[in-house]
Structure 1
């Protein structure tokens, strides 16, 4: 399998996945925020701490990470296209 095939597979996948979170399509960033809060609460309950869970990351943080992943996907896609040439 050539490097171009790998890059042209990973690149668009990262663009779609990161873009979906960055643009909050279907409430993806908000769902990730709720998921992180639920996991933090479960971890606190497992330790025996019954207080309120602290906020781990906000939806804005997940949207930022999504945009970084989408930009990395663009770089991978361009690298794959350059590898073909």
Structure 2
């Protein structure tokens, strides 16, 4: 597999996945936030602490990270196309 095909595949995957979270399609950023909160709560219960679990990442931060990943994918995908065309 050539580097161009790898860059194109990885770039399109990053663009689609990052865009999905950045645009919060079907509540993806909200579900990531809920899953992280549930994991933190389970981790605290396993340690024996019964207080409220701290929230480290919010829905907005997940959407921001999705935007960064989508932008990186939008750079890699044309790079892969240019590599394949050369």
Q: Which sections of structure 1, spanning at least 5 residues, go unmatched? A: none
Q: Aligned-residue CA RMSD in angstroms?
A: 0.7
Q: Runs ≥4 in structure 1, deviation > 3 angstroms? A: none
TM-score, length of structure 1 as denominator length: 0.96
What is the Cα deviation at residue 23 of structure 1? 0.1
Residues 1:60 and 2:63 aligned together: no
Deviates more, 1:73-82 or 1:54-63: 73-82
Q: Aligned residue pairs: how many?
A: 85
Q: Which sections of structure 2, spanning at least 5 residues, go unmatched? A: none
* Residue of structure 1 in register with 2:21 after alignment: 21
TM-score, length of structure 2 as denominator length: 0.95
Deviates more, 1:72-81 or 1:26-35: 72-81
What is the Cα deviation at residue 78 of structure 1? 1.6
What is the Cα deviation at residue 35 of structure 1? 0.5
